[in-house]
Amino acid sequence: MTLLVVLLSVLLAVAVIVCVLLAVRLAQLRRVGTPILLRTIPAEVDHGWRHGTVHYSDNSLRYYRLASLRPGPNVTFARQSIEIAGRRRPEGTETEILEGMLILQVQTTGRTPSIGKGSDGAFPDGKVKDGYELAMGPGAVTAFQSWLESRQSARSQRRKSA
């Protein structure tokens, strides 16, 4: 009987530690990031959405999934490789969880990490192409587009001073 009590106590302690770690991560991410929902495409109409936050930096956008114990970002988008392929409003049952949000369809090129399955396709020159949908509020969409449009053009080169 005492072995069973010890085993249950250990399992309970592990469960409590995991819950505390999840709560700390959730609180930490909600304080600093911009809340969004993300999913890889193609996907069925109302499947695959993951809650998380994004953090902007000079060269990348880092996505942290809320229900993850991973210490680093779950997905990192290189700023130069992001293209907005389209936008839409939530459809069907998506409206229940995405009320008041806009959905941006985003394509990334290059070697960016993806969620789970890997890449959706490749360009003829060998670059990997991943597709994602980002659901966010109107203010977050404006911030994302501003951040994206203010990047340096891939074609522009700085001239050396004379």
Contact between residue 45 and residue 91 where contact means Cβ atoms under 8 Å apart:
yes
pLDDT at 124: 38
Contact between residue 133 and residue 98 where contact means Cβ atoms under 8 Å apart:
no
Give pLDDT tens digits for 8-17: 999 999 999 9
Give pLDDT tens digits for 52-82: 999 998 889 999 888 777 778 889 999 988 8
Contact between residue 128 and residue 109 where contact means Cβ atoms under 8 Å apart:
yes
Q: Considering the entire predicted model, what is its pTM? A: 0.69
* pLDDT < 70 positions in the chain: 1, 29-30, 110-129, 154-162
pLDDT at 121: 40
